[in-house]
Structure 1
Amino acid sequence: MSTLQDTPYASASVRWLTLLSICVATFLMPMSMSAVNVALPAIAADLNADAVLVSWIPTMNLLGAIALQLPAGRIADMIGRKKVFLAGVLLFSLSSFAITLVDHIGWLLLMRLLQGISGAMIFGTGMAIVSQVFADHGRGMALGLTSTSVYLGLTCGPPIGGWLTEWWDWHAVFLAPLPLAVICAVLVWIHVQETERKLDERLDWVGSLLFIVASSLFFIGLSELPDWTGIILGSLGLALLGLFVYQQEHTPYPLIRLRRMVKNTVFFRSIQASFFMYAANYPLQFLLSLYLQYIRGLSPAEAGQLMLLQAMMMAILAPIAGRLSDRFEPRIPATLGSLLFGVGFLILAMLNQDSGLEQVVLALLVMGTGFGLFSSPNNNGALSVIPTDKLSIGSSLLNISRTLGNMLGMAVVVFLFNLMIGNAQLVPEQYPALMDLLELAFLLCCGYCLLAAWRSWSRGKVHVYVETK
């Protein structure tokens, strides 16, 4: 087994081939995710799913990702990032193929849970590998290109999902990523060097189980509010999370030393900013897909083509912003991006059933600019202050903040559906209630963006922090 040191990546060609292999996977996951959002009405009609069950299709993906994120990062630091990364790609491929065989919404939701677990394995190691390889060769730019691959996936997902849904059916949306998964696995197997195995460390099985159960109960509880079931499950989840924090401070092999993380102001506030930004971003495509297809009557392909505008702006700006964060303080572009993202949600909150599509286009362009300015500098700032041997767990924590934000954003949306629409089918009689829900959700997302801007600016100066360590 090779040891990940400077020598294997001294060659620029090896570094870039390694980056390419990671970018293929980070393209694959968001492409599948955004394509599914466009196919939701077709899935609902085919499987007879009500509004709440439809909202669980993107949500189950998050549940799997959040529950396994910390254990996956810890295992990767112990046995090797390459192994965990490849296992994640394999699980994603198998669960995607299995979805094409289901004929009931329950089985589909289970497969989406497995896809979320595979995402935890891929994203928990992908950024760590890139950060290690490019530590002394423009890490911000490399992370920016990794972010670009995510946004290109988001860009291609909606039109691909729309076209496949119209020309074939929604099952094809889950088959389309499989060839890319094979390419990704081959590239990673050939070009990525394995990290050194840490035989003197152990996985904290008790802490892992506590975290999985606690995060799952809390997530399910949020989605069941305001019922008493939701209150009980959410409270139990919070109690177990408190027990997890206590247990992590008293075990010899913790998943994470939370007290040490909180003391690292730059890293802690960077992941807080990421949490709030993704709480705003994740429900966006789901909500816009409902507005464009149900309220405005667009086809899946038309809705997908319109929604790709935001991701196109992200893809263009992410590597530029990442490069800037190598030279200037990351909090400057990241904070500006958070504020612009909030402006886009204000524009969307003013939509009504007769609004012109130009208003949606303007909002998506502003939001794409904002998120493109935020993502790469924020990731670069966070990972710049993490020791090399802790990059996988640092990457996992950064992705946990993203996934927790996604979870909060979608849990609030599911709660709004329970409260304002319930189990009713989304028929024209429900459109006024749907518009009220969309307006409230967009305003809440704007509030998340303001909180992200506050935490982003208050993180301090990253370059000064690194120089003094």
Structure 2
Amino acid sequence: MADAAPTGSWTREQRTVLAVACVSSFITPFMGSALNLAVPAIGRDLGLSAVALNWVVGAYLVAAAAFLLPAGRLGDVLGRKRVFLWGVGSHAAVALLAGLATSGWVLVALRALQGAAAAFIFATAPAILTAAFPITQRGRVLGLATASVYLGLSAGPVLGGLLTHYLGWRSIFVAVALLSVGLVVAVVAAIPDEWRGEQVGLDLGGAVLYVLALSAVIGGVSALREGAWGPWVVVVGAVLLVVFVLRERVVPSPTLKLRLFGDPAFAFSNLAALIHYSATFAVSFLLSLYLQSVRGLDARAAGLVLLVQPILMAALSPAAGRLSDRMEPRLVASVGMALSMGALVAFAFLGATSSAWLIGLGLGLLGVGFGLFSSPNTNAVLSAVPRADLGLGAAALGTARMVGQALSMSLVALFFHGFLGHSSLAAADTGALATAMRTAFWLFAGLCAIGIAASLARSPIDRRDD
């Protein structure tokens, strides 16, 4: 597809690409945040234990992270629009099946399949959007797509609560399936072009090895608190990852082009994303527990308080994206991470009688920080790879994000195990709970400090179109 005309004269196809990218960016966070509110209803309806309910969310994250890299490479070789349609169509079909599930473990298996389908969306949508617009406008359109992610996070608890209350939790899956079908229709009807990179073979053996390795690492880390088998699964996954890297160095058409990490802008931007999500993903979970278990708010009131963060993120992401078109993305993203660190330091001082202003200050800083970090960092990653490898670049960034999210929750689980033992949250001492959270916030703030250094270490991007 030809490069874009100047701002204000986008073609119909470019506007459709942007709309499709925004809707696809909305769907998956909307489903995740809506299901978080529906988890108790799912547990009652299907008779699931707390561990099984955790895997309703965890199975999706593990599968999505494991399939991102192969999906991105597949899009670069076979065509990103084609692979995107596979992902959206599969996502719709599996969502409908999940809405009909009558067994808890069937639902967990379907959530894993849905995560795999979502990986094909995550890996191709940003690449299609980036290919459709010139480098001088990438920050702007990526900012709009990022804002859609945060709108999904904001709308999920509200709309998910209404759907669950009036129509039952299964209606969330039906709603997502209908949105996905609408995306398929829009792409087929209004986007005639295809985007692909090199016409080369696929390293299917490497892709399978990678999926097994990353599934073992993330699944094992997520299960560290559940038994002695978790660490062994992590070790097996780590060994498989080493074998995968050695293989990628010698095969003619690798799943992962290791040479991309020789570019400091690409390598440090992905490292910054990994660290930032490791330090911030669990914050909403921790604050939800703090507001309900320590401060005594009900779930609805706690949800309304936490809305401050995603609303600010959605409001600022487009402006941050446009700003990264005018100045170095690494500078904008680094300021964002510094503000996130400030929020985490503020949260580290929370206690049973802390002022509401301290909570509001922290949420405000985190919302602004995330808004300034996400779209400029995405711009930096996708501007650092050749046009032929945009799917691989988007997949690498998505993998860093997913792995960071899993690490964030695993660190919290380890802190809770250390401070609370085997006590249920209902029976836990609120003082010990607050201490565990404050310790986690200090660790996360330290991670952000390292992330700022990684963010500033990357090289400037080349603004010449490929």
TM-score (norm 1): 0.90
Are positions 1:252 and 2:252 aligned together? yes
TM-superposed CA distance for 1:5, in Å, is 4.1
Could you tell me which residue of structure 1 aligns to residue 236 of structure 2?
A: 236
Q: Which amino acid aligns with 2:289?
A: L
Q: Which runs of 5+ in 1 are unaligned?
A: none
Tell me: CA distance 1:269–1:109, structure 2 relative to 1, closer, same or farther (3 Å): same
Query: SS of 1:138's equivalent?
Result: helix
TM-superposed CA distance for 1:50, in Å, is 4.6
Distance 1:345 1:12 in 2: 43
Q: Is the 8 A contact 1:65 1:118 kept in 2?
A: yes
Q: Is the 8 A contact 2:80 2:195 kept in 1?
A: no
Task: Write the deviation string for residues 439-467 of structure 1: whole angstroms up to 9, x where unpaired.
Answer: 333333223322221111111222xx456
Could you tell me which residue of structure 1 aligns to residue 60 of structure 2?
A: 61
Tell me: CA distance 1:188–1:234, structure 2 relative to 1, closer, same or farther (3 Å): same
Are positions 1:316 and 2:306 aligned together? no
- Of 334-343 and 291-300, more deviation after overlay is shown by 291-300
Q: Which amino acid aligns with 1:179?
A: L
TM-superposed CA distance for 1:425, in Å, is 4.3
Are positions 1:332 and 2:327 aligned together? no
Distance 1:435 1:453 in 2: 27
Once superposed, what is the RMSD of the aligned Cα atoms?
A: 2.7
The alignment of Structure 1 onto Structure 2 pairs a total of residues equal to 463
Could you tell me which residue of structure 2 aligns to residue 401 of structure 1?
A: 400
Q: Which amino acid aligns with 1:25?
A: S
Task: Write the deviation string for residues 12-50 of structure 1: whole angstroms up to 9, x where unpaired.
Answer: 332122101111111111111122223334444555545
TM-superposed CA distance for 1:189, in Å, is 1.9
Task: Write the deviation string for residues 169-190 of structure 1: whole angstroms up to 9, x where unpaired.
Answer: 4333333323322322222222
Q: Is the 8 A contact 1:163 1:300 kept in 2?
A: no
Q: Which amino acid aligns with 2:347?
A: L
TM-superposed CA distance for 1:51, in Å, is 4.4
Q: Is the 8 A contact 2:314 2:371 kept in 1?
A: yes
Distance 2:442 2:38 in 1: 25
1:288-327 maps to which residues of 2 (within 5 A)? 288-327=287-326
Tell me: CA distance 1:82–1:218, structure 2 relative to 1, closer, same or farther (3 Å): same
Q: Is the 8 A contact 1:151 1:314 kept in 2?
A: yes
Query: SS of 1:176's equivalent?
Result: helix
Q: Percent identity?
A: 36
TM-superposed CA distance for 1:286, in Å, is 2.9
- Of 210-219 and 293-302, more deviation after overlay is shown by 293-302
Task: Write the deviation string for residues 93-129 of structure 1: whole angstroms up to 9, x where unpaired.
Answer: 2332333333444233222212221221111001101
Q: Is the 8 A contact 1:270 1:382 kept in 2?
A: yes
TM-superposed CA distance for 1:437, in Å, is 3.5
Task: Write the deviation string for residues 126-166 of structure 1: whole angstroms up to 9, x where unpaired.
Answer: 11011111125511101111111111111111222233344
Tell me: CA distance 1:455–1:434, structure 2 relative to 1, closer, same or farther (3 Å): same
Query: SS of 1:426's equivalent?
Result: coil
Q: Is the 8 A contact 1:37 1:286 kept in 2?
A: no
Distance 1:417 1:300 in 2: 21
Q: Which runs of 5+ in 2 are unaligned?
A: none
Q: Which amino acid aligns with 1:243?
A: V
- Of 262-271 and 52-61, more deviation after overlay is shown by 52-61
Q: Is the 8 A contact 2:4 2:132 kept in 1?
A: no
1:206-217 maps to which residues of 2 (within 5 A)? 206-217=205-216
1:439-458 maps to which residues of 2 (within 5 A)? 439-458=438-457
Tell me: CA distance 1:196–1:138, structure 2 relative to 1, closer, same or farther (3 Å): closer
Distance 1:90 1:436 in 2: 46
Distance 2:264 2:280 in 1: 24
Q: Is the 8 A contact 1:148 1:314 kept in 2?
A: yes
Q: Which amino acid aligns with 1:245?
A: V
Q: Which amino acid aligns with 2:303?
A: G
